[in-house]
Amino acid sequence: MVFKSFIGEPTAPFIIFFQIFFRIMADLCQKMTSRMNNVKYAIAAVKSFKNVGSMVPSSSFLVKKIIKDIDFDHEIAILELGAGTGVITREVLSRMSDNSVLYSYENNSTFIDSLKNIHDDRLIIKAENVSNLNLLKDDYFDVVISSLPLANMAKGFKNKIYKDIKAKLKDTGVYLQYQYLLFDYNRIGKSFGNCKLEFCLLNMPPAFIYRTKM
């Protein structure tokens, strides 16, 4: 018999059954949360496409390719611009060391609500516009990860963003940016002195990744 009785010590098959059951339920909950975030993202994107830049969140393939060269084994400070619903945010937090810190900027109220569901003491949510980057400490961050829709921004505003990013990065800092078309590749190269280009096909739409070093 699978169970000797309904009272007393549970048998091994009983324990295995419930382990499998809870794993399945946890997986379903995670998938439902992910789908709900995607729906929220799409609705917010329709309402404010100019400030969002895409109808769907970044794929896991793009996220992993963007952050693949970051040294997460050491204590680092990361600045994220345009966090959205937290696709990159969550992946970064899952890899960061205990003493590291992540500042995530987002000014869309729908996306901010999603970010607030991430309970992690290493995450500092900055619910404000990136025009306030100058208020942060200079020469502090090891990495800047940007999802900002540069193609939708005015030239003068972009130049200010680049200037602020350079000021906030350490001398050995890295600036990571992705874009669907190469509109700002040359501009970023001129602003930072170098810009390595990569491509991720497995994203909707496919995206280019810019890597710069100070």
Single out the residue of 213, 212, 180, 175 nearest to residue 197, CA to CA. 212
Which run of H or E residues covers position 126? strand 123-126
Range of 59's domain? 50-213
109, two tokens: 């109220």
pLDDT digits (tens, 9 = 90+) for 79-138: 999 999 999 999 999 999 999 999 999 999 999 999 999 999 999 999 999 999 999 999
* Domain presence at residue 15: no
* Domain presence at residue 196: yes
Q: What is the CATH number of the domain that holds 158?
A: 3.40.50.150
**Beta bridge partner(s), residue 78:** 102, 143
* Domain presence at residue 31: no
What's the rounded mean pLDDT across residues 202-214?
Answer: 94
* Domain presence at residue 57: yes
pLDDT digits (tens, 9 = 90+) for 57-77: 889 999 999 999 999 999 999
Distance between CA atoms of residues 75 and 157, nearest Å: 31
Q: Quote the distance between the C-alpha of residue 131 and its chain's center.
A: 19
The pTM of this model reads 0.77
Q: What is the tally of structural domains in the chain?
A: 1
pLDDT band at 31 (very low <50, low <70, confident <90, very high): very low
Distance between CA atoms of residues 165 and 130, nearest Å: 10
First vs last C-alpha separation in the chain = 68
Q: What percent of the chain has pLDDT over 70?
A: 74
Distance between CA atoms of residues 94 and 1, nearest Å: 43
pLDDT band at 16 (very low <50, low <70, confident <90, very high): low
* Domain presence at residue 10: no
- Average pLDDT of the chain? 84
